[in-house]
């Protein structure tokens, strides 16, 4: 597309020096770690996936992605950091040679920007302005929550600039209101009959051996538990499909790096010395994130994944520092949707960086067409798989 300052392949131009008071975009590695950590702790809407301890190992596992960060300061450069959003070019994220930035990194099911609680609207506006100053005509935030204070701040900033956003792929995913009594919550959601059946299955597990639920938080214990998680995950359907976290070198390097940064807690359900279910959990501010789960599929008759989720529900409900837990699951998840009954509205938020921009509108249309093509291909592959299985 002509008339832009973006490179032809969709990459960003060379960075200009930061001017006082001007929102900017800069390489991720140049951000002050202490300032980044401080902003993450005071963000109006927590997002552990954009914390430095997570984002840096995630991008580090993809050296060709050229990650940069939209940043906003309270006044001149060097003043407190009030806004931050890791981004890559549309070419890097989507292989689209268009002047757009995508708030995307490997393994991120949430793209809410980090916005200082006391300056959220100003920070949101500055991030949009930083994207515009880079030459981007569109800022894409896939997997953005649409019912939280982060979205409200972005909406207010867009209204001031006369910008109308577009939302694609709107859906809901499960979350846990951790302020409630766990047993009353589980009984209200699952029903007494289902909860009784799950207790019966738990008692049957007791017949197999000594059942224990353990949460590992210390670095050495987390590292050991992570290795057990990777082995268990590889033995299941994710391993069969080649999508387990430990099956590719880059994925394994990322997850171990994030663990070393203290980003993970790992919950385990064991029978004697046998691991039957494991979950990776993250915390940021007053929010928890249920990132990954693996379970022993040979013991599916005992519902080990559900049993672990019940224990995590009790754990979070007993913790007064946690208000909400994001399941990070797909919409309509067959397990978690029946246990956690709150819903987060999530969608792909597309923000033109200037009002009434035909170039931004064309990019939005291109992204919609690409998503539709991918959906059709996915459906075709699923049908082919079903036909092959029926022919066996």
pLDDT digits (tens, 9 = 90+) for 178-198: 999 999 999 999 999 999 999
φ, ψ dihedrals at 116, nearest 5°: -55, 135
CATH architecture label of 179-322:
3-Layer(aba) Sandwich (3.40)
Give the CA diameter of the chain: 71
Cα 87 to Cα 66: distance, rounded to the nearest angstrom:
9
Q: Looking at residue 12, what is its pLDDT?
A: 39
Contacts of 296 (CB under 8 A, 6+ apart): 232, 235, 236, 274, 275, 276, 277, 304
Residues 29, 66 contacting (CB under 8 angstroms): no
For residue 161, give the 3-state DSSP assignment.
coil
φ, ψ dihedrals at 97, nearest 5°: -85, 65
pLDDT of 17 strictly over 90: no
Q: Looking at residue 8, what is its pLDDT?
A: 34
* Average pLDDT rounded to a whole number, residues 236-256: 91
* Average pLDDT rounded to a whole number, residues 306-335: 97
Lowest mean pLDDT across 55-59, 277-281, 379-383: 379-383
Average pLDDT, the chain: 89
Cα 292 to Cα 229: distance, rounded to the nearest angstrom:
9
pLDDT of 13 strictly over 60: no
Cα 116 to Cα 239: distance, rounded to the nearest angstrom:
40
The DSSP output letter for 150 is H
Q: Looking at residue 384, what is its pLDDT?
A: 66
What CATH homologous superfamily does 24-171+346-391 map to?
Gcn5-related N-acetyltransferase (GNAT) (3.40.630.30)
* Average pLDDT rounded to a whole number, residues 334-344: 95
Residues of 157-179 as b/e, b for ≥16 C-beta within 10 angstroms?
Answer: bbeeeebebbeeeeebbbbbebe
Tokens 């900017």 -> residue: 24
| Tens digit of each residue's pLDDT (9 = 90 or more) over 199-225 | 999 999 999 999 999 999 999 999 999
Contacts of 74 (CB under 8 A, 6+ apart): 80, 81, 82, 116, 119
- What percent of the chain has a predicted confidence (pLDDT) above 90? 77
pLDDT of 7 strictly over 50: no
Tokens 């982060």 -> residue: 150
* Average pLDDT rounded to a whole number, residues 307-328: 98
Q: Looking at residue 151, what is its pLDDT?
A: 98
Q: Looking at residue 107, what is its pLDDT?
A: 83
pLDDT of 370 strictly over 70: yes
Q: Looking at residue 387, what is its pLDDT?
A: 52
Tell me where in the chain the CATH 3.40.630.30 domain(s) lie. 24-171+346-391
Residues 96, 42 contacting (CB under 8 angstroms): no
* Average pLDDT rounded to a whole number, residues 117-137: 95
pLDDT of 245 strictly over 60: yes
Q: Looking at residue 14, what is its pLDDT?
A: 37
The DSSP output letter for 391 is H
Confidence tier at 67 by pLDDT (50, 70, 90): confident
φ, ψ dihedrals at 104, nearest 5°: -140, 140
What is the chain's percent helix, strand, coil content, to nearest 5? 45, 25, 30
| Tens digit of each residue's pLDDT (9 = 90 or more) over 101-126 | 999 877 889 999 999 999 999 999 99
- Which helix (H) or strand (E) covers residue 117, if one does? none
Cα 384 to Cα 386: distance, rounded to the nearest angstrom:
5
């Amino acid at each position: 597309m002509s008339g832009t300052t973006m490179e032809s392949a969709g990459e960003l131009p060379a960075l200009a020096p930061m001017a006082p008071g001007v929102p900017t975009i800069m390489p991720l590695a140049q951000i002050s770690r202490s300032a980044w950590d401080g902003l993450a702790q005071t963000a109006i809407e927590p997002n552990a996936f954009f914390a430095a301890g997570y984002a840096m190992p995630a991008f580090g596992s993809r050296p060709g992605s050229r990650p940069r960060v939209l940043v906003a300061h309270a006044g001149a450069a060097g003043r407190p950091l009030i806004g931050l959003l890791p981004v890559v070019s549309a070419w890097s994220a989507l292989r689209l040679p268009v002047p757009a930035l995508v708030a995307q990194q490997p393994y991120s099911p949430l793209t809410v920007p980090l916005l200082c609680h006391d300056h959220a609207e100003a920070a949101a506006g500055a991030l949009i302005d930083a994207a515009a100053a880079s030459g981007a005509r569109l800022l894409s935030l896939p997997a953005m929550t649409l019912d939280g204070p982060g979205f409200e701040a972005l909406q207010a900033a867009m209204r001031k600039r006369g910008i109308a956003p577009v939302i694609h792929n709107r859906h809901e995913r499960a979350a846990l209101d951790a302020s409630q009594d766990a047993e009353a919550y589980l009984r209200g959601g699952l029903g007494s009959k289902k909860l009784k059946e799950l207790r019966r299955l738990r008692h049957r597990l007791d017949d197999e051996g000594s059942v224990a639920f353990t949460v590992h938080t210390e670095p050495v214990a987390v590292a050991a538990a992570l290795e057990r998680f990777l082995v268990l995950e590889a033995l299941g359907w994710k391993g069969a499909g080649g999508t387990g976290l430990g099956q590719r070198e880059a994925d394994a390097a990322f997850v171990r790096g994030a663990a070393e940064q203290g980003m993970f807690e790992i919950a385990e359900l064991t029978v004697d010395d046998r691991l039957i279910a494991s979950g990776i959990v993250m915390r940021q501010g007053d929010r928890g994130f249920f990132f990954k789960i693996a379970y022993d599929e040979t013991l599916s008759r005992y519902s080990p994944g559900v049993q672990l989720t019940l224990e995590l529900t009790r754990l979070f409900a007993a913790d007064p520092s946690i208000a909400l837990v994001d399941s990070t699951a797909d919409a309509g998840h067959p397990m978690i949707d029946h246990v956690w009954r709150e819903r987060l509205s999530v969608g792909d938020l597309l923000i033109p960086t200037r009002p009434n921009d035909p170039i931004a509108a064309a990019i939005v249309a291109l992204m919609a067409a690409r998503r539709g093509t991918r959906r059709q291909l996915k459906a075709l592959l699923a049908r082919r798989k079903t036909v092959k299985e029926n022919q066996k």
